[in-house]
Chains A and B, each alone.
Chain A
């Protein structure tokens, strides 16, 4: 059912579960490194392979990071809580239970304010807890890439035991037709918050932040929530938005056709934006949770928690307000920088000496375009805020114009060196030599006698063509404003 029609008939209720891989040096319960991309099964030991007799010990840095996330999300911090075992058999889970938290999460009852179309929506946080990641299965053969139908599967346990924080919202009603945007804004805000705390690199394309999206619909006018589905492992912010939209459309069609929504997990497909059924929760697994007897309870010292709270960095919302004031930009511009994940980059560029307007112009213009072309996030472009600031300085100092500056950026992105090196190697300085410029102008005037006459005759607007000629003849290196002055002077015309 088309989205607009779906929203006329039904009202959505959202819920989001977010998994964040923490960037601790070692795994959650052993000393193995957590770096991404190592050869399979090289970051493993008796503990994370669950060899007989091996025991976990909790990573204190991961506990601290989780508490900081909880505090940043305005949560209460448990005075005493335990890990719990979640029991189920799966080949990529070495112990066949996951050490997680059940009814005693480390952090609970918080909120995160997010902004959509200039309005603030408060998303309530149910809990933030700490657990371990599983290994990574690859299913070879078969049509679906899933375990059923595969010829065989291989497992990489490097990821097994990496600390994972799960952040669960309370149900979010009342978003109405903005549900997809609210979901995305929450994801964006959360990513920025976690990154600002320095506890995870939140690289969604590497799976270090992933979302489970819960959606249910109720008929307009009803106050009884419908049956929800859970779309698992959505791994980009754009996909979060699309998954919510797609699931609203799908559920609306089912309900409108007299069908019933089944409580189940669903898989999101990037190519179509639709979801397909996974495991049905109505034949739900019984995880047989019980307190993890191998680990002592966590009892954070309240004084320490207070210290952590006092030393939290400025949170993203407050920071954006401050930067907006400092930079003097509109709400809309600020929002688009936020959506493009450009705020850190602009801030760093300004810190390196660029005027805010210029920093924003480059990142949101030329660089956003190039990132888009290359299909990479803005922050992954091979250019630093310092380099952008250097280019801005060259433009401001008259050494480059915008057109040359774009060529410098291209050179830096191509790996040709620093902006100064690119300028030197490509010979991109503006022609400042009056003699050389004068010679070029003479040449252009000689070749464009008509236009020169028009200007002499008082049609000053015709000077544009002559300036263009100079720019072309100098291959863009001339200072256009100075060229205009000289042309008028040579033609004996004053404005």
Chain B
């Protein structure tokens, strides 16, 4: 099997044993990127020399006898919303085109410390706002399963890169489902850790109270290894949780659901859900029961209003977070011809630099926070947030984890929902509650929909700091399904 089709754990072991060098592994992935990128467009930036230099450093550290972690030398694709001191960082926006940050995000720094080799920066919906990666200012990314379809979003470049074997691992950020939904529609594993479990320092903010960095991988164990590599308390992020990281690698190894209580969220299913998605979901729930889990239906009534509340809170925060893009200190500057005021240059730059979805959300958020509307919109949405947290709390009084489909449909065709924001927003219907309450949640492949033969994801939600439960259940599902399928779901994808 070629190096690009191995798991991250396997690659790590091969490099550790000296069977292959980090440079060879990096080169194999750079070759794969060169071969498939014209079709997939997962990356915004790839610089072979920078990548190989990192790989050489890992090989040198190992040669010097340094003890390195399990992912040392393993390549990774990094979402272009994390700052990187050696590569440009754009957040998928024209307003940051060509910007080179003077500093590494905490996640970036920890990847480097763990010896991961960054292949490049992946495409995303501009400022992580979207569910299809069509909102990128640099063109859409395509789903490796069907190049006419979206790879999910906002972390669509990261999901596509892993699904297309351009990288065994990638990073994402999840604000309303931006890791889980792309993972689901590309047939891979994507995890949204507990809010505060992974640092936001150096993550270009969309909605501060929701944004959560997390891992993508082709299997549960690899995702756990990656999460463990970049998680943990960061004094540079005030909202970072100062508590021991749940031992997710151990949980992924365990992969056992016997005696576990699993709640099926009553509110997610039925109208608006693709029958093939529901069929795979129900089969998987039955599978879990057959593995010894106790399955019950749980009602979380406030989940039905999570989406509208989210679309008040996230735009409100984004309207403020994106105010700093004003042409004064970095990024695009338009209209500075010596005659215009600073105010005019700011306005012209923002008009030219932001795409339509970003503008839509800035306007929505500005409105929701205005004097006289605050209580009715932002204030009310915060109350919904409290109700969602209470629903979770009540549910986790009865069960250990909650499950639902990750997203109501499989990957939709590029362009289908581009002019219909409401239809686009519905892609995150099932994922948003975990963001609103800060819970841990994972998406793991659970089969192909009968209608279109495209991947379906199972979402497993756990309490705050219950990340290990997500991995434990996901690993059990993965083990059982892969033995049924005779391999990973992704092996059914058409070759590129």
Report Cα–Cα, A288/B201, bound state, in Å: 25
The reply to whether B235 and A57 contact each other, CB–CB distance below 8 Å, is yes
Say how far A150's CB is from chain B's closest CB, in angstroms: 9
Residue of B202, B236, B238, B319 touching A58 (CB-CB under 8 A): B238
- Which among B89, B91, B238, B317 is the interface contact of A55 at CB below 8 angstroms? B238
A contact residues around B200 at 8 Å (CB): 55
Min C-beta distance of A486 to chain B, whole Å:
78
Q: Is A377 an interface residue (CB 8 A)?
A: no
Contact of B371 among A89, A147, A288, A293 (CB under 8 A): A288
Interface contact B238-A56, CB-CB below 8 Å: yes
CB atoms of A57 and B324 under 8 A apart? no
Q: Which residue of A lies closest to B324 (CB)?
A: A50
Tell me if B369 is interfacial: C-beta within 8 Å of chain A: yes
For B104, the closest partner residue in chain A by CB is: A53
| Known A51-B103, A91-B328: A286·B371 in contact at CB below 8 Å | yes
Contact B238 A54 (CB under 8 A): no
| A85 to B317 CA separation, bound complex (whole angstroms) | 10
Is A96 an interface residue, CB under 8 A from the partner?
Answer: yes
Contacts of B43 in A (CB 8 A): none
Chain A 22-49 near chain B by CB (<8 Å), digits 1 or 0? 0000000000000000000000001001
Chain B residues within 8 Å of A97, by CB: 320, 323
B83 at the interface (CB under 8 A from A): yes
Interface: B343 (CB within 8 A): yes
Most interface-central of B83, B238, B325, B326 (chain A CB within 10 A): B238
Give Cα A295–Cα B205 distance, bound, in whole angstroms. Answer: 14
Q: Is A294 located at the chain interface by the 8 A CB criterion? A: yes
- Against A, the Cβ 8 Å flags (1 = close, 0 = not) of B375-397 are 00010000000000000000000
Give the contacts of A431-487 with B (CB-CB under 8 A): none
Chain A residues near B207: list those with CB within 8 A.
Answer: 293
Question: In whole angstroms, how far apart are the Cα atoms of A204 and B237 in the complex?
Answer: 34
Q: Would you call the interface of chain A mostly helix, strand, loop, or mixed?
A: loop
What's the Cα separation between A94 and B31 when bound, in Å? Answer: 42
Contacts of B201 in A (CB 8 A): 53-55
- A290 B369 Cβ-Cβ under 8 A: yes
Q: Tell me, in angstroms, the Cα distance from A257 to B326 when the chains sit together.
A: 45
A319 to B43, CA, bound (A): 69
| Contact yes or no, B374 A290, CB < 8 A | yes
Known: A46-B103, A95-B324, A286-B370. A51 touches B330 (CB 8 A): yes
Q: Is A52 an interface residue (CB 8 A)?
A: yes
Q: Are A294 and B208 in contact (CB under 8 A)?
A: yes
| B496 in the interface (beta carbon within 8 A) | no
- Residue interface bits B95-120, CB-to-A below 8 A is 1, else 0: 01001011101000000000000000
Interface membership of B239, Cβ < 8 A: yes
Per-position contact with B for A269-287: 1 when CB-CB < 8 Å, else 0? 0000000000000000010
Contacts of B82 in A (CB 8 A): 53
Closest chain B residue to A41 by CB distance? B329
Q: Is the interface of B mostly helix, strand, loop or mixed?
A: loop
B342 interface residue, CB < 8 Å from A? Answer: yes
CA distance A293 to B319 in the complex (A): 13
B-side contacts of A289, CB under 8 Å = 369, 374
CB–CB B323/A55 < 8 A: no
From residue 250 to 268 of chain B, which have CB atoms closer than 8 A to chain A?
A: none
Does B316 touch A at the CB level, under 8 Å? yes
CA distance A324 to B87 in the complex (A): 67
> Which positions 52-88 of chain A face chain B at CB distance < 8 Å?
52-58, 85, 87
B209 CB-CB contact with A under 8 Å: yes
Q: Which of A54, A155, A286, A296 contacts B202 (CB 8 A)?
A: A54
CA distance A97 to B203 in the complex (A): 19
For residue B50, which residues in chain A have a CB less than 8 angstroms away from its CB? none
A153 — nearest CB in chain B belongs to which residue? B342
Contacts of A290 in B (CB 8 A): 316-317, 320, 369, 374, 378
B326 and A96 contacting across the interface, CB-CB below 8 Å: yes
Give Cα A53–Cα B99 distance, bound, in whole angstroms: 13
A85-B326 contact, Cβ under 8 Å, with A52-B101, A294-B238, A296-B238 = no
Most chain-B CB neighbours within 10 Å: which of A57, A85, A288, A296?
Answer: A288
Q: With the chains together, A50 CA to B378 CA distance in Å?
A: 24
User: Chain B CB within 10 Å — which of A57, A153, A155 has the most?
Assistant: A57
List 9 additional A-B contacts (Cβ < 8 Å) besides A94-B328, A294-B239.
Answer: A51-B330, A53-B82, A54-B103, A57-B238, A89-B346, A147-B341, A288-B320, A293-B209, A294-B205
A residues near B (Cβ < 8 Å) are 46, 49-58, 85, 87, 89, 91, 94-97, 147, 153, 155, 286, 288-290, 293-296
Binding site for A on B (CB under 8 A): 82-83, 89, 91, 96, 99, 101-103, 105, 200-205, 207-209, 235-239, 316-317, 319-320, 323-326, 328-330, 341-343, 346, 366, 369-371, 374, 378
Show 8 A/B contacts (Cβ-Cβ < 8 Å), sorted by A.
A49-B329, A52-B89, A52-B99, A52-B324, A55-B237, A97-B320, A288-B319, A293-B208
